[in-house]
Amino acid sequence: MTTTHCPYCSLQCGMVLEGRRTLEVQPWAEFPVNEGALCRKGWTATGLRGHRERLTTPLVRDRATGELRAAGWDEALDLVAGRLRALQAEHGKDAVGVFGGGGLTNEKAYSLGKLARVALGTSQIDYNGRWCMSSAASAGNQAFGIDRGLPFPLADIEHTDVLVLVGSNLAETMPPAARHLDRLRENGGRVVVIDPRRTPTADRADVFLQPVPGTDLPIALGLLHLIDAADAVDEEYVATRTTGWEDVRRTAAAWWPERVERVSGVSAAELRELAELVGDAEKVMVLTARGAEQHAQGTDTVLAWIAVALALGMPGKEHAGYGCLTGQGNGQGGREHGQKADQLPGYRMIDDPAAREHVAGVWGVEPSSLPGKGRSAYELLDALGTDAGPKALLVFGSNIVVSAPNATHVAARLASLDLLVVADLVLSETAALADVVLPVTQWAEETGTMTNLEGRVILRQQAAAPPDGVRSDLDVIAGLAARLGHDFATDPEEVFAELGRASAGGKADYSEITYDRIRAEHGVFWGTPRMFADSFAHADGRARFVPVEHRGPAEPVDAAYPLHLTTGRVLAQYQSGAQTRRVRELPDAGPFVELHPMLADRIGAYDGRPVVVSTRRGELKAPARVVDTIRPDTVFVPFHWVGANRLTNDALDPSSRMPEFKVCAAAVTA
């Protein structure tokens, strides 16, 4: 019997695995985040054990036939290291790029960042977590001086008076967390959901607002306008714990309810009712998720909602404040320890001389040898194969061909590389394009830590041996590093101890966390479980109001593309679907196009029959789902299958570099 955690979302639900060859999932009731509850993905999480598509030997593309063939580990790693050295000798260190994943353990994320900066000397590293909560991270750093998804335990939700969920379908994306909504309502609290679709989460709400995609920001500004007009601002809190309120107040003054209604589609009456609800409440909690954040103005949107929480005096108050519902399993820890282009372990910034000196000391190299800041995730992919961009890419824990925006363009950039290396457990759509594929362990076959959405560091423990021929990502990284002249640890506990030394003194300081502590305490928070009670992380201890203005989507609708396209998840699948689409017990109906009956009638579409969604980047043909739970001017496509992200826009947030996944102009034909 092994206590461990689910391989999917940022809840990192606790579970027990029993058996040796065949693993069975059992509840782990003592783990506080999920109390034994799991969603269907969690209950079936062992479904890839022994799967016929599991990779068990390295694959190398034969230059004569163009086909992938089996190879030994030494041949594969020697080939990769030799070609990386040759490309860097000809084109410079940045000729090699590294692309990581928000599902990698802290140990892997740390080692991957070290591989890039020490063994390869490249600045070109980023990860798919850039597409997860980077806008909320950027806003949190600006407003609070620090970024942690939830600055309080998830269970605090149950004890607030009003919970405002902006762009979150909690009931489908992390179902075990939805019980907190029910308990909140049982305790007399109110739930507000803001979403262009009436989701199962909205069905649990007391108040549901259905805005035009991309207009969450003006709703927040309109709320600020009404809160201020009603004298509901906590003036003492604002004066003693914040700066910048007057600039935000002037901005919000221009967003009267009728203007918000014209822009967002949310009626002035609905906005006034919401303002009265939050203005009268003693405790208010605002949580944003991808629906609010995956926009070219995602950072500004989060800053506006943080301003609502600050104006009400909520951040730092018990059972209140602002938080972000992180998506990927290790979206939090993955960036804290070195996968982002601008960060070093401990959430240190790579252009900070003191940070460079500290981390270089742990790594035993000169600070001057560390590269500077590289390209963000999409910019890195966009540069592949160009004169100034990387000629080789190493991919760990990401299925870029499915998950990247403007995916047809990204696939073309991958095809232009001199060398593409992918480490994965199955032949994903991205691995199928690779020159070298390296088979790696899955979650139940390895040990390592993750950091969940609360900042709770948890321990996944190995429950079974991997198949013969499969190595852990740590072994692969160390094998490449050794061929490049560097000695990297492969024991996860040893790597975690080194990570602790590298993060010591940083904003995300793990130096006091050990595997033994995690086991004993069911996870250990970095920092404190509840942040901001006494001060914020800026030097003066105050939070920042940051004035923002609404610009609207990067690609507005027009006569040719008159509809808003938005994307998201469904209950049975996860991320690019590389794992969940291969689990037999999970229903896989394929992509679909959700549209309103009024739109269906106008274009002659029928439920279950194919329609074609087109944007300026591509088109997708899939069955229609005609429902009255979506706005008539909006269509929805889930992103777990190839096709959805061929449509999405690659416009980037200027601060977070988040692509605008959640809205673009589209047309639909039957």
Indicate whether 644 pLDDT > 80. yes
Neighbours of 656 (CB within 10 A): 26
Indicate whether 59 pLDDT > 80. yes
* Entry pTM: 0.97
Instruction: Give SS3 for 609.
Output: coil
**Stretch 528-544: mean pLDDT:** 97
Whether residue 502 is contained in a domain is answered as: no
DSSP result, 331-360: HHHHHHTT-STTEETTTEETT-HHHHHHHH
Classify residue 182 by its DSSP letter.
H
* Per-residue model confidence (pLDDT) at position 589: 85
Domain with 606 in it: 563-669
Query: How many Å apart are CA 269 and CA 249, to the nearest integer?
Result: 21
Indicate whether 21 pLDDT > 80. no
Query: Cα angle at 337 between 335 and 343, to 5 degrees?
Result: 70
Query: Cα angle at 281 between 280 and 286, to 5 degrees?
Result: 120
Tokens at residue 577, please? Answer: 């679907």
Q: Which amino acid is at 543?
A: A
Beta-bridged to residue 25, according to DSSP, are: 17
Whether residue 49 is contained in a domain is answered as: no
The pLDDT tens digits for 88-122 are 999 999 999 999 999 999 999 999 999 999 999 99
Same-domain check for residues 482 and 628:
no
Strands 419-424 vs 436-439: parallel, antiparallel or unpaired:
parallel
13 to 45, 451, 453, 455: CA distances (angstroms): 12, 12, 11, 14
Whether residue 551 is contained in a domain is answered as: no
Indicate whether 174 pLDDT > 90. yes
No. of helices (H) and no. of strands (E), the chain: 22, 28
Indicate whether 63 pLDDT > 90. no
Same-domain check for residues 215 and 288:
yes
CATH number at residue 650: 2.40.40.20
What is the share, in percent, of the chain residues with pLDDT greater than 70?
Answer: 100
Indicate whether 510 pLDDT > 80. yes
Query: How many Å apart are CA 384 and CA 387, to the nearest integer?
Result: 9
Same-domain check for residues 30 and 77:
no
* Per-residue model confidence (pLDDT) at position 467: 95
* Per-residue model confidence (pLDDT) at position 133: 87
Same-domain check for residues 312 and 338:
no
Same-domain check for residues 273 and 153:
yes
Classify residue 588 by its DSSP letter.
-
The position carrying tokens 């035993």 is 364
Sequence-distant (6+) residues with CB within 8 A of 589 are: none
The answer to whether residues 124 and 373 touch, using CB atoms and an 8 Å cutoff, is no
Burial of 487 (0-12, 13-18, 19+ CB in 10 A): exposed
Same-domain check for residues 278 and 377:
no
Whether residue 520 is contained in a domain is answered as: no
Same-domain check for residues 163 and 237:
yes
The pLDDT tens digits for 211-265 are 999 999 999 999 999 999 999 999 999 999 999 999 999 999 999 999 999 999 9
* Per-residue model confidence (pLDDT) at position 396: 98
**Stretch 272-289: mean pLDDT:** 98
Sheet holding 59-61, edge to edge: 68-70, 59-61, 436-439, 419-424, 392-396, 96-100, 125-127
Same-domain check for residues 74 and 108:
yes
Indicate whether 278 pLDDT > 90. yes
Tokens at residue 100, please? Answer: 């990581």
**Stretch 7-27: mean pLDDT:** 93
DSSP result, 262-293: HHH---HHHHHHHHHHHHH-S-EEEEE-HHHH
Whether residue 346 is contained in a domain is answered as: yes
Element (H, E) at 245: helix 245-253
* Per-residue model confidence (pLDDT) at position 50: 87
Whether residue 290 is contained in a domain is answered as: yes
Per-chain mean pLDDT for the chain: 96
Same-domain check for residues 186 and 273:
yes
Total structural domains within the chain: 4
What is the share, in percent, of the chain residues with pLDDT greater than 90?
Answer: 96
CATH number at residue 248: 3.40.228.10
Tokens at residue 568, please? Answer: 């998201």
Same-domain check for residues 217 and 307:
yes
Same-domain check for residues 235 and 304:
yes
Whether residue 397 is contained in a domain is answered as: yes
pLDDT confidence tier of residue 284, bands split at 50, 70 and 90: very high
* Per-residue model confidence (pLDDT) at position 327: 83
The pLDDT tens digits for 328-365 are 889 899 889 999 999 999 999 999 999 999 999 999 99
Whether residue 532 is contained in a domain is answered as: no
In total, the chain counts a number of residues equal to 670
* Per-residue model confidence (pLDDT) at position 508: 96
Strands 543-544 vs 618-626: parallel, antiparallel or unpaired:
unpaired
Query: How many Å apart are CA 500 and CA 493, to the nearest integer?
Result: 10
The position carrying tokens 């902006």 is 166
Query: How many Å apart are CA 180 and CA 302, to the nearest integer?
Result: 23
Element (H, E) at 107: helix 106-114
Same-domain check for residues 85 and 15:
no
Calculate the dihedral angle through the C-alpha atoms of 171, 175, 180, 181, rounding to the nearest 10 degrees. Answer: 10
